[in-house]
Amino acid sequence: MHSFECHVYYEDTDLAGIVYYANYLKFIERARSEWVRSLGRDQAQLKAEAGLVFAVRHLTADYLIPAKFDDVLTISTEVLEAKGARMVLDQRVLRGGVLLFDAKVTLVAIGANGAAARLPQALRAALA
């Protein structure tokens, strides 16, 4: 499991001072980028070397408790499944160990031609 920490800035909140719902998707996207980087690769490198990019195919999200301005959030990323061209991740946003947001994210690897492409062996090995 990978963890990424971020702060809630004023720009992340709405008029009520709570995190605007769409910004949770930005937080988990940043955490995914850092997670890939922690595997010894980055997304630009995957594109340059293997011609692959990742696209979100499906996402389910539960908004449980609102985050607020100046909160310190921890976003965890855990691989639930990785096979073929697809990965399923569990991504959670927590504040002080309390679960605020939970998402299941299905990613698909896409090749330069726009079609689904198998995950590279080196990436599959890093995920195992």
Positions annotated as catalytic residues are 14
Cα separations (Å) of 100 from 53, 66, 112?
A: 29, 6, 36
CB environment 46-56: b (16+ within 10 A), e (fewer): beeebebbbee
Helix (H) / strand (E) element for 77: namely strand 72-83
Distant-in-sequence, close-in-space partners of 41: CB < 8 Å, separation ≥ 6? 122, 123, 126
